[in-house]
Amino acid sequence: MKRHGILNSHISKILSDLGHTDLIAIADAGLPVPEGVRKIDLALKLGTPSFREVVETIADDMVIEKVIVAEEIREGNPTTLQFMIDRFGEDNVAVSISHEQFKVLTGQVKAVIRTGEATPYANCILQAGVHFG
């Protein structure tokens, strides 16, 4: 058994396989997952686990160079947007696409990790970075 880090074998494998600029998504309970994209479903009930808890856990184990969220988060869920800016820095959080464009972009991710989050627009796409020069 692992001593540290993410215990979920599916998430651990996805993170280990990521290369520079690869994408993964962390989603609320309602985000549709495109056909052919791997879904790792962590949802137990509404609110559990929370989007924030999953983002924090993934961010502790992944080199992230960019975060993409939908423009609708500004009005629909400003608390979650502020959390993302506080966690990743304003320069690293791109709020530049619509929710519809965000859903299309999920077709390019390696996996969607589904949380139990039940607040609007609590979704992000994380772009992998590298931890060397």
Domain extents for the chain? 9-128
Is 122 marked as a binding-site residue?
Answer: yes
For domain 9-128, which architecture applies?
3-Layer(aba) Sandwich (3.40)
Return averaged pLDDT per consecutive 10 residues of the chain, 133 residues in all: 89 97 98 98 98 98 97 98 98 96 98 98 98 79
Q: Which long-range contacts (CB under 8 A, 24 or more apart) does 42-48 make?
A: 42/8, 42/113, 42/114, 42/115, 42/116, 43/114, 43/115, 43/116, 44/116, 45/116, 46/116, 46/118, 47/116, 47/117, 47/118, 48/116
pTM of the model: 0.96
Mean of all residue pLDDT scores within the chain = 96
Catalytic residues: 20
Q: What is the pLDDT of residues 119-132, one digit of tens each?
A: 999 999 999 999 88
- 41 labelled binding-site residue: no
> Is 92 one of the annotated binding-site residues?
no
Please tell me whether 121 is known to bind a ligand.
yes
